[in-house]
Structure 1
Amino acid sequence: MPRPRILVIGAGFAGVECLHRLERLLKPEEAELTLVSPHDYQLYLPLLPHVAAGVVTPQSVAVSLRRRLRRTRYVPGMALGVDTRRRRVAVRTVEGAEWELGYDRLVLAAGSTTRLFDIPGVTEHALGMKTLAQAAYLRDHVIGQLDAAAAAADPETQAERLCFVVVGGGYAGTETAACLQLLTQAAVRRFPHVDPSMLRWHLVDIAPRLLPEIGERLGAAAMKVLGGRGIEISLNTSVTRVTPTSVELTDGRTLRTRTLVWTAGVAASALVHTVDADLVRGRLATTPEMTVPGVDGVFAVGDAAAVPDLAMGEGGITAPTAQHSQRQGKAVARNVVADLRGTSMEPYFHRDLGLVVDLGGGYAVSRPIGVGLSGLPGQAVARGYHLLALPTVTARTRVLVNWALNAATGADFVSTGFQNGRPATLPDFEHTDVYRTG
């Protein structure tokens, strides 16, 4: 008889952990494993701000799938739609060809994209921090603004180039603002025709507190540190309009800038809307065992899935974090094997181990297992957590060496030009407009 076909969509934390565990739990003759992803690497997303700031190299956070998955068939492309009745997935390869893949068990781990709101100009002019290409592009863009400011004869144009706005006061936005502000603060000393006092950084968030995920005390400590570095933090504030040279805020101010970094939350991959199943807060509803109700043979995990959070109690769903995605990937692999073998599946249960926010410059705020830490102890915990969470020894070694080199020698301020000539909008980078509607 033919081997059962297990198809996994997405090479993020959940998808790769699932396949890594399936390779260990299943013999080769028990199932055929296939992965669909546009990239042949697993991205360690939490360190993207370090890539944008030049603290670590892009290769350090892009873990080769071929190092982790030894017998999974890799299909380079994007899943466009799911036909659960026929058990087929439409795929567009990186070369543009379209074809279908059949499955007996499907694991949807398609991840998330940057959440966009109906705000004029955001889609056209904002930069993101969700992909490796975006981080590399943002670094080149920021250094390019310093170059342009040094060459500008008009003081108003120079001020626009030296003003940077980050929207989103969660850990992604806060780390991005912190790391890039340190980059520009160090870089501007190498630009003799730029007045360092003209450098402006703004962090804007609609929430009443910075870093609400990490607690009021640590959030306040982070605000104090960032404020001391010169970052202006505007809470209870949102964006009303964006143009190529300005950002208009709900408090009436208009910031003249050429740089808006948008990190205001995430939304599940649009692939979930092609599945004939219920959604919860825009994510695929699942059982505690991570199966999709009413759809045979389909599991959903990670940012694309509304997995019940049994640790929170009635009605809660797991947060879209790397921590949950990693653990759900391992748990769903066990359930896929149980489903194949006709044994009972186990519900997903995991207590949050806390968050870490590395602000650079020898400072971080961390809350491991409920214990609040800040300063150097917080940074030691944050970087230790990242080293342990990186999936291979090679990746850990590269990141550790990058951190050591940066601490010893400082950064270089080179615009690589790797992304020159490509469209820079959020949909262009994240391919959000390719999915089918049904």
Structure 2
Amino acid sequence: MAVKSEPTRILVLGGGYVGLYTALGLQKKLRANEASVTVVDPQPHMTYQPFLPEAAAGSIEPRHVVVPLRRVLRRCHVLTARVNKIEHERKTVTVEAADGHIEQLGYDVLVVALGSVARLLPIPGLAEEGIAFKTIGEAIYLRNHVLTKLDEAASTLDPDLRKRLLTFTVVGGGFAGIEALAELEDMTRFATRYYENIEPEDIRWVLVEAAGRILPEVRDTLGVWTVEQLEKRGIEVYLSTAAKSFENGHVVLSDGTEFDSDTIIWTAGVKANPVLAQSDLPVDKRGRLQATAGLQVVGHPDVWTAGDVAAVPDLSKTEKDPTATCPPNAQHAVRQARHLAKNIIRVLRGGQPVDYYHKNVGSVASLGLHKGVADTFNIKVKGFAAWVMHRAYHVKAMPTFNRKVRILLDWMLGGVLRREVVSLGQINNPKEEFARASKS
């Protein structure tokens, strides 16, 4: 009697765009006992990052922009743990579980979908004063932080402190920075109607960008138009300007500008997850995994990768630039993940991987409620129409029918009842009142 072989062990590192969509594709296509799939991520959910600005501004309930991994990956094993080391020669991954213990996981097929982290520069005070904008926790914190600053400014008698509290600084003019800035500025402007002693013109929003333009993903004219729209709203935009220091909340820019700000939002780029430095897999000069167009790691056909962590050749551009790689954005991550799952199935069943090819169809960005900018199919769209396109595209891309419906309901209720602008400041220090009670 023949002995039945064990199912192929597929280990997916990361539960973001690539990890979730790859696992979803695998659990849908795999036959019974063909393979087991384990997904490892330090968070029990996937975060749809394009909706973080709206979650921070109160247009969407924060829980609705995350997808619970265990709920949707019912045919997969989900392990809440942080990856510490990859040893492909031994086919093991070292992880630190949620309770703190260390263990090693074996695999037959590895999917590295660890994504990216904020790229910090050696600027004095940045680590102490700055806050990134990549996680749902950071979005919730920023919402409460910004609204708390309005509360503090409304109650202080010190004019210098009031000015500092009402000064908000965003560093980075890419999509993440512009959308965070626009949505949060829109929220603070709306919130001032509930403060007797704060007017919209009292609030100062500042954008700092080292390059000579913003939104490099769209054509130059749309970038210029966006700057003009931001400046019409009273937002100060510093282009071709670098941040020199943030020590003690005192912002110093390369053009000599100085001011105090209690809020410094850092969105100036990302880098591949630094765990790759603790692996024996090949990386490029930017620290990303060297990948083939078929989404396999170069020289390792049993290791797959995609998304921000991978340097995937951009076949739509390689004729002009042989070194071109796909940009680290959600559009490519989602499409690569779906393609990746299909390729793994093909190889498991004796076939060959198919190269990933996707020509970027354009970009859309929200500039606050009813305002947006889009550059799609070589067509420029501005204002309300672009805002509608932004919402339509991202609700379509949001994983699971459950989350799509919840987000649509949030938007409908917000349109009728208006957004909530209350600060839940106690979230940032939930034990403060308990500690006070214990001393009384």
Cα shift readout 1:300-342 (whole Å, capped 9, x = no counterpart): 1110000111111111000001111111111111222222222
Tell me the amino acid that sits aligned with residue 324 of structure 2. Answer: G
Instruction: Give 1:282 deviation, angstroms.
Output: 1.9
Cα shift readout 1:9-35 (whole Å, capped 9, x = no counterpart): 111111111111111221131001100
Instruction: Give 1:417 deviation, angstroms.
Output: 3.7
Matched, 1:236 2:244: no
CA distance in 1, matches of 2:64, 2:260: 35
Of stretches 288-297 and 343-352 in structure 1, the one that deviates more from structure 2 is 288-297
Matched, 1:46 2:78: no
Q: Which aligned pairs between 1:280-429 and structure 2 lie closer than 5 A?
A: 280=284, 281-295=286-300, 297-313=302-318, 314-417=322-425, 419-421=427-429
Instruction: Give 1:277 deviation, angstroms.
Output: 2.7
Matched, 1:16 2:24: no
TM-score, with structure 2 as normaliser: 0.93
Out of 254, 259, 263, the residue aligned to residue 258 of structure 2 is 254
Of stretches 228-237 and 412-421 in structure 1, the one that deviates more from structure 2 is 412-421
Instruction: Give 1:40 deviation, angstroms.
Output: 2.0
Aligned residue in 1 for 2:137: 133
The 1:296/1:322 distance shift into structure 2, 3 A limit, reads same
The 1:195/1:384 distance shift into structure 2, 3 A limit, reads closer
Instruction: Give 1:418 deviation, angstroms.
Output: 6.3
CA distance in 1, matches of 2:105, 2:369: 48
Matched, 1:180 2:184: yes
Aligned length: 422
Cα shift readout 1:35-85 (whole Å, capped 9, x = no counterpart): 001222221100100011111111110122234322000001111110111
Instruction: Give 1:143 deviation, angstroms.
Output: 0.7
Instruction: Give 1:409 deviation, angstroms.
Output: 2.1
CA distance in 2, matches of 1:150, 1:301: 48
CA distance in 2, matches of 1:157, 1:417: 19
The 1:230/1:107 distance shift into structure 2, 3 A limit, reads same
Of stretches 282-291 and 301-310 in structure 1, the one that deviates more from structure 2 is 282-291
CA distance in 2, matches of 1:272, 1:370: 37
Cα shift readout 1:231-260 (whole Å, capped 9, x = no counterpart): 111100110011232111111111211110
Identity of aligned residues (%): 37
CA distance in 1, matches of 2:348, 2:211: 45
Instruction: Give 1:365 deviation, angstroms.
Output: 0.5
> 1:23 is paired with a residue of what secondary structure?
helix
Instruction: Give 1:363 deviation, angstroms.
Output: 1.1
Tell me the amino acid that sits aligned with residue 38 of structure 1. Answer: P
Tell me the amino acid that sits aligned with residue 367 of structure 2. Answer: L
Tell me the amino acid that sits aligned with residue 130 of structure 1. Answer: K
CA distance in 2, matches of 1:88, 1:15: 18
The structure whose RCO (Cα within 8 Å, separation 6+) is larger is: 1
Instruction: Give 1:191 deviation, angstroms.
Output: 1.7
Aligned residue in 1 for 2:108: 104
Of stretches 317-326 and 66-75 in structure 1, the one that deviates more from structure 2 is 66-75
Out of 218, 224, 227, the residue aligned to residue 222 of structure 2 is 218
Considering only aligned residues, what root-mean-square deviation do their CA atoms show, in Å? 1.4
Tell me the amino acid that sits aligned with residue 92 of structure 1. Answer: E
CA distance in 2, matches of 1:115, 1:260: 15
Tell me the amino acid that sits aligned with residue 376 of structure 2. Answer: P
Tell me the amino acid that sits aligned with residue 62 of structure 2. Answer: P
CA distance in 1, matches of 2:199, 2:85: 52
Matched, 1:160 2:160: no
Aligned residue in 2 for 1:428: none
CA distance in 2, matches of 1:137, 1:205: 23
Tell me the amino acid that sits aligned with residue 95 of structure 1. Answer: D
Q: Which aligned pairs between 1:59-208 and structure 2 lie closer than 5 A?
A: 59-208=63-212
> 2:117 is paired with a residue of what secondary structure?
strand
Contact kept? 2:88, 2:281, Cα under 8 Å: no
Instruction: Give 1:223 deviation, angstroms.
Output: 1.4
The 1:71/1:418 distance shift into structure 2, 3 A limit, reads farther
Tell me the amino acid that sits aligned with residue 379 of structure 1. Answer: W
Tell me the amino acid that sits aligned with residue 64 of structure 1. Answer: P
Contact kept? 2:371, 2:386, Cα under 8 Å: yes
Instruction: Give 1:369 deviation, angstroms.
Output: 2.3
Contact kept? 1:84, 1:295, Cα under 8 Å: no
Q: Which runs of 5+ in 2 are unaligned?
A: 431-440
> 1:318 is paired with a residue of what secondary structure?
coil
The 1:96/1:419 distance shift into structure 2, 3 A limit, reads farther
Tell me the amino acid that sits aligned with residue 371 of structure 2. Answer: Y
CA distance in 2, matches of 1:154, 1:300: 54
Instruction: Give 1:419 deviation, angstroms.
Output: 4.1
The 1:157/1:304 distance shift into structure 2, 3 A limit, reads same
Contact kept? 2:70, 2:78, Cα under 8 Å: no
Cα shift readout 1:76-99 (whole Å, capped 9, x = no counterpart): 111111011110111111111111
Tell me the amino acid that sits aligned with residue 221 of structure 2. Answer: R
Contact kept? 1:133, 1:419, Cα under 8 Å: no
CA distance in 1, matches of 2:149, 2:42: 30
Please list every run of at least 4 consecutive aligned residues from structure 1 whose deviation after the TM superposition is greater than 3 angstroms: none
Instruction: Give 1:187 deviation, angstroms.
Output: 1.0
CA distance in 2, matches of 1:35, 1:56: 27
The 1:114/1:418 distance shift into structure 2, 3 A limit, reads farther
Aligned residue in 2 for 1:433: none
TM-score, with structure 1 as normaliser: 0.94
Aligned residue in 2 for 1:429: none
Instruction: Give 1:420 deviation, angstroms.
Output: 1.6
